[in-house]
Structure 1
Amino acid sequence: MLSVLSPGIIADAGATGGPVLLSGLTAAVSLAAGVRAIGALGFAAAIVFAIAIPRLKYRRNY
């Protein structure tokens, strides 16, 4: 039986929901707030990659 929250569905929800949330924030507040939100998300992604990539460095793909 397939799980309801499979990784594909979660990725699709994130890819779809991100722009919707950002456009809602921009419409509610201002364009500057939207730019700041994108910058904050970029820094958050950089932190995640800085933590995750060194852990995966020695993992073999076979």
Structure 2
Amino acid sequence: MDTLDIRNEIYSIRITYWRKIRLRYFSGYILSETAQILEIPRGTVVTRQRRALQLLRLELGEGIRK
């Protein structure tokens, strides 16, 4: 699976989760900065980030098995 495939999988995640992934992993913000930018509690960022990564793993895992 190449970078383009991974990015396509990320785009398929709901926008609520995508913004957290984009800020944390593509823009390099730390958790507290991400929370400040999104104007949400740090704990919410952690929870949504965890959920987004779970969904991404699920999507990538299903894509690999096909």
TM-score with structure 1 setting the length: 0.49
Largest Rg, 1 or 2:
1
The structure whose RCO (Cα within 8 Å, separation 6+) is larger is: 2
